[in-house]
Amino acid sequence: MREIIFSADDFGLTESVNEAVERAHREGVLGQASLMVAAPAAEDAVRRARMLPGLKVGLHLVLVDGDSLLGHARLPHITGPDGRFSTNQAALGVRYFFSPAARRELRAEIEAQFAAFADSGLDLHHADAHKHFLLHPTIARLMIEIGRRYGLKRLRVPAEPPAVMAALGERVTFGDRVLYAWTRLLRAQARGLEVPDQVFGLKWSGHVTAERIARLLPLVPEGRTEIYTHPATRRDEALVRLMPDYEHVAEFEALLARYRS
């Protein structure tokens, strides 16, 4: 059997994202969303989620290219003076792996983000990570260890099958195949948690349009599949600055189109 779940990342980033999540759940096929607890519009996202009992909300753990919860004074080794994590994922990954000070701060921030989600009063349905940084084994270990204490039962393993993407006419690189193989390590670390069999949206990140979804659905393998999106009702200033090439509105419209088709 096939089970297909449509999800939204970056819930709480801006009010236009939050509005899209709410409308795509009420009027479309969106079943779950992942909350950035330290993002500027997190409070608005929580308010909306409380009015949507059918929306399954999880933690979108941010440890790169985003706001920290604890700030620079508490996280001097892993954030800039503005309290944001660097956009340089590779450099941060090395620091998280080799620096004991960075790992102590990493643990504290992960704990703080799970605690903030718990304080929201929302049920923790799942967890995933911004930029799929939970593929870093140190982050995965801490995220799973801490998450279990907060009732974590489901985790996104971003395993996008290269064979399916190739069948869709996408160029599949050696790096894509290595990344897919690497997800087996995360799947092993997540033993005992519910994880999707496959996830789509990596190759098309920011560009999961209605046309692409229509081509993908007939090729979705058996099992549990997550198709993750980045919807917004409009391209506000923050989205243009942070994700200049993303098609947020087209992804929002795609979630509505699936419901109407």
Indicate which CATH number applies to the domain containing 123.
3.20.20.370
Average pLDDT value for residue range 72-83: 97
**Average pLDDT, rounded, for the chain:** 96
How confident is the model at residue 29, as a pLDDT? 96
Percent of the chain at pLDDT above 70? 98
How confident is the model at residue 208, as a pLDDT? 98
In the predicted model, is pLDDT for residue 260 greater than 60? no
How confident is the model at residue 197, as a pLDDT? 97
**229 vs 247: CA distance, rounded Å:** 10
- Boundaries of domain holding 191: 2-260
How confident is the model at residue 257, as a pLDDT? 82
How confident is the model at residue 184, as a pLDDT? 97
Nearest to 260 by CA among 46, 23, 12, 48: 23
Other Cβ atoms less than 10 A from the Cβ of 190: the count is 21
Average pLDDT value for residue range 188-207: 97
Residue that is written with structure tokens 């084994």 in the block: 137
Contacts of 122 (CB under 8 A, 6+ apart): 35, 46, 49, 50, 57
In the predicted model, is pLDDT for residue 258 greater than 80? no
**72 vs 81: CA distance, rounded Å:** 6
How confident is the model at residue 51, as a pLDDT? 97
What are the φ and ψ backbone dihedral angles of 155, each rounded to 5 degrees? Answer: -140, 140
Give the CA distances from residue 43 to residues 18, 25, 61, 231, in Å, rounded to whole numbers and listed in that order. 10, 18, 16, 18
Angle CA(37)–CA(97)–CA(186) in degrees, nearest 5?
70
In the predicted model, is pLDDT for residue 169 greater than 80? yes
Q: In the chain, what's the furthest Cα-to-Cα distance?
A: 52
How confident is the model at residue 163, as a pLDDT? 97
Average pLDDT value for residue range 153-164: 98
How confident is the model at residue 1, as a pLDDT? 87
Q: Are 4 and 26 in contact (CB under 8 A)?
A: no
Question: Per residue in 199-245, pLDDT tens?
Answer: 999 999 999 999 999 999 999 999 999 999 999 999 999 999 999 99
**224 vs 32: CA distance, rounded Å:** 14
**62 vs 27: CA distance, rounded Å:** 28
How confident is the model at residue 178, as a pLDDT? 96
- Please give the tally of structural domains in the chain: 1
Question: Per residue in 91-129, pLDDT tens?
Answer: 999 999 999 999 999 999 999 999 999 999 999 999 999
In the predicted model, is pLDDT for residue 85 greater than 60? yes
